[in-house]
Amino acid sequence: MTDLKTRAAPGRPGALRRAAPALLGFAAVRALGLVALALWSAARDKSAHTLLTARWDSLWYSRVAAGGYGHEVRLPNGDVHSDLAFFPLLPWLERLGAAVSPLSHADAGLVVSLLASLAAAWGIFAVGDQVYGRRAGICLVLLWAVLPVGIVQSMAYSESLFTALAAWSLYAVRTGRWVTAGTLALAAGLTRPVGLAVAAAVWAAGVAAFVRTRGPAAAHGAPASARAPGEGARCALGMLLAPLGAAGYVLWVGHRTGDGPFGYLDVQAGWRNGFDGGWAFARFTAEKFTSFPSALAGAGLVLGVALVGWLYVTGVRRRLPLPLLVYTGIVTALALCASGYFGSKPRLLLPAFPLLLPLAAALARARTARSAAVVAGIAVASALYGAFWLNGSGPP
């Protein structure tokens, strides 16, 4: 693995130039997806703008941005959908965008998502470049861009914002910027419940660094960065900051609802969402095999879960850095083992970009022409699927 000091770090001259191919490729894929969505929507007499900004979760986010928390919908079956299920950072940014510009809250959310998706692409490149080199970093970004549900990266949803914060926090951890890593993890925890995965990655790296500096290896010459003055204090501060965002919001919800520390779980239960170890998802998948047409969908689900599992195991075998494995494992487990919203699982897996590292490394080893052809073909298919998906069931 190349020495980290030889890589251009963000903030240093040449960093943007080094990441430029990845960012330009990402922008091209996203532009293709948006063009496909616009054409498909126009053919169906629908508004692509509405699909991106004013449906599903984006409506809840913009409502919180406009009027604060307190809105809920009571369904005939007794379920209560409360806006407290949605973490506050994206609505805060939407409110800020609407306050300093003529944009509506929904349009401000779209702008935040578009900018955050570029920040996420840069962060993903930085992580990939650090682990496997520049070429693999570019391939990692492009693979993340061409995922079948990649259109969500361009919606007024929180996935792009969260992925940007997570990617840069992981990069900061890997480069010993503990306070930066903890601060970004805190912000990620204010964005989505799975922000705890970022905090866990910071903690795992911090504990590992402590063990390295206190273990037998330290007596034989630990890395200079591990023994730098104040390193332990900065590491401890980063670890302290990391979980505060998610924990703070969850505790605030519990105080607001009067249900204590577990109030947020009750809010999620009102949405029929929880963690059951994947039992409900397994039943849902098994039910697909009761008839022939749906059996194809069931087989696709099984293959998809198997692929995710294989990619994670491959990452473990290739000894990917511990923070990446911890982060990815938690994101994947929470996505696959949630008890509701089965159609959302591909979207919930979007932040688990380190899963793609083994594929990115393989693609980076291929000839440029072959890699470009593969990515281009998948990009076209992804753009068409995204347009079809958003004009149909979409991401609930």
CA 157 to CA 53: how far, in whole Å? 8
Quick check: is 150 in a domain? yes
Over 60: is that where the pLDDT of 6 sits? no
- pLDDT of 4 strictly over 80: no
DSSP code of residue 273: -
Q: Which segment of 220-224, 241-245, 294-298 scores lowest on mean pLDDT?
A: 220-224
- Please give the residue that has the higher pLDDT: either 396 or 362: 362
Answer yes or no: is 6 within a domain: no
Considering the entire predicted model, what is its pTM?
0.92
Residues 266 and 335: beta-carbon distance below 8 Å: no
Average confidence (pLDDT) over 159-179: 97
Half-sphere exposure (Cβ direction) of 15: Cα atoms closer than 13 Å: 13
Nearest-angstrom CA–CA distance, 379 and 382: 5
User: Average pLDDT for residues 203-228, to the nearest whole number?
Assistant: 67
Q: Is residue 181 part of a domain?
A: yes
Mean pLDDT of 96-110: 96
Domain, as residue range, for 377: 19-390
Give the pLDDT score at 284. 81
pLDDT band at residue 53, thresholds of 50, 70 and 90? very high
| Number of domains observed in the structure of the chain | 1
Using alpha carbons, select from 194, 177, 161, 175 the residue that is nearest to residue 268. Answer: 194
CB 109 within 8 A of CB 65: yes
Does the pLDDT of residue 187 top 60, yes or no?
A: yes
Residue 154 lies in a domain: yes
For residue 8, is it within any domain? no
Rg (Cα) of the chain, in Å, rounded?
21
How far is 75 from 221, CA to CA, in rounded Å? 63
Among 31-40, 253-262, 282-291, the least confident range: 282-291
pLDDT of 9: 59
* C-alpha atoms less than 13 angstroms from C-alpha of 372 in its C-beta half-sphere: 7
308 to 65, 188, 303, 335, 350: CA distances (angstroms): 35, 23, 9, 11, 12
139 closest CA partner among 33, 25, 31: 25
Q: What is the pLDDT of residues 301-315, one digit of tens each?
A: 889 999 999 999 999
Average pLDDT along the chain: 90
On whether residue 89 sits in a domain, the answer given is: yes
Q: Mean of the pLDDT values across residues 310-324?
A: 96
AA identity, residue 333: A
> Within a domain: residue 91?
yes
| Share above pLDDT 90 across residues of the chain, in percent, rounded to a whole number | 73
113-131 pLDDT, tens per residue? 999 999 999 999 999 999 9
Strand (E) or helix (H) holding 72? strand 72-74
pLDDT surpasses 50 at 5 = no
Give me the pLDDT at residue 216, please.
Answer: 59
| Any domain includes 396 | no
